[in-house]
Structure 1
Amino acid sequence: MKVRFTIVFLVFISGFIFAQNNTEIGQKAPEINLSKADGSPFVLSSLKGKLVLIDFWATWCAPCVNEQPELKKLYDQFSEQVKNNTFEIVGVSLDRSKESWQKAIDRFAIDWIQISDLKFWKSPVAKAYGIEELPFNLIIDGNGTIIAKNLHDKELEEFLNKNLTQQ
């Protein structure tokens, strides 16, 4: 009985550790396959070759909403890299309401990729990325490897300046 408990416990703990470490710098980002706001399909691996900022957010999250104008500014600032297919932002919404999500997209004139399954915290993508709080972001390189995470404000801008102006 004690051996069985130990094995079950170790399997549980190893699963927990794996779930907590699947978004560490140097690891491949889990695939994302969700619908865009317009209903068309999106797959993260379709952006292979680009530096991608994956921004997890929701309209009910005040810090997330407050961050959208800054992301808009950065997206506009690096519009040349977007046009040259070297940079993209993917917003992953953890909303439940399509209406609230679409209103925020319109309000902030978000023109980067927006995706969601409208499953809130129960989204398989949120689980795959180990999302426990918002806002949360990470940056992947052209091979899908995580190279930075949870950069905001000046730190995010400096990282993008450094990594996008060297290309």
Structure 2
Amino acid sequence: MKLGVILFSFFISLSTFAGAANPANGKAVKEGYEIGDKLPNIVAKSIAGNDIKLSSLEGKLVLVDFWASWCPPCRAENPRMVEAYDKFKNQNFKNGKGFTIYSFSLDTKQANWKAAVAKDKLSWDYHVSELKGWHSPTSNKFGIRSIPSNFLIDGDGIILAKNLRGEKLELILQYYQKK
């Protein structure tokens, strides 16, 4: 019962923030890094060297995940992210069609990054990095001080939740799923 009350309170606070920031409500949305803000765009290189813009994923629910191959907690989290991706990638959400992950690596060595993506079977298409580790301009701009760190954004780029780990990711995706 206590867990149910905690989860209910958590979801109500999330829906309150997300609802207040919804452009459909006619309210201005500021760009920023807090729940209810529009997450700034990211443009970074894929493993193949192509630019991938976060904004190209507009219309989907996107988990923007900051991680690295050398980070044990990140690697431990990867199986849960793969499971969530496989389960929700083709689902419809309250403000998004489909779910994907935009993985931003804080690696400095492309070979290590590429090997971790393959070994952990990170099957989504959006893997990017600046290959500058903690000196990454993007991670610094986003205030990333520890990893794993992530933002869940809706189809308009509005931050719905932050730092989802473990079963929280799946619970939040279920909450925002169209019924």
- 1:124 corresponding residue in structure 2: 137
Scaled by the length of structure 2, what TM-score is found?
0.76
1:99 aligns with 2:105: no
- 2:27 corresponding residue in structure 1: none
1:109 aligns with 2:128: no
Look up the equivalent residue of 2:91 and give its one-letter code: Q
Matches within 5 A, 1:11-160: 22-81=32-91, 85-112=97-124, 113-160=126-173
Residue 63 of structure 2 contacts residue 150 of structure 2 at CA under 8 Å; is this kept in 1? yes
Consecutive unaligned residues in structure 2, runs of 5 or more: 1-30
Look up the equivalent residue of 2:168 and give its one-letter code: E
Query: Matches of 2:140 and 2:162 in 1, distance apart?
Result: 16
Rg comparison, structure with higher value: 1
Consecutive unaligned residues in structure 1, runs of 5 or more: 1-20
Residue 55 of structure 1 contacts residue 135 of structure 1 at CA under 8 Å; is this kept in 2? yes
Displacement over 4 Å in runs of 4+? none
Structure 1 residue 80, shift from structure 2 partner? 2.1
Residue 22 of structure 1 contacts residue 128 of structure 1 at CA under 8 Å; is this kept in 2? no
Residue 22 of structure 1 contacts residue 130 of structure 1 at CA under 8 Å; is this kept in 2? no
Structure 1 residue 67, shift from structure 2 partner? 0.7
Look up the equivalent residue of 2:115 and give its one-letter code: K
Q: Which has the higher helix share?
A: 1
RMSD: 1.8
Partner SS state of residue 148, structure 1: strand
Residue 89 of structure 2 contacts residue 98 of structure 2 at CA under 8 Å; is this kept in 1? no
Structure 1 residue 79, shift from structure 2 partner? 3.2
How many residue pairs end up in the alignment?
145
Query: Matches of 1:92 and 1:109 in 2, distance apart?
Result: 16
1:163 aligns with 2:173: no
- 2:18 corresponding residue in structure 1: none
Change (3 A) 1:79 1:27: closer
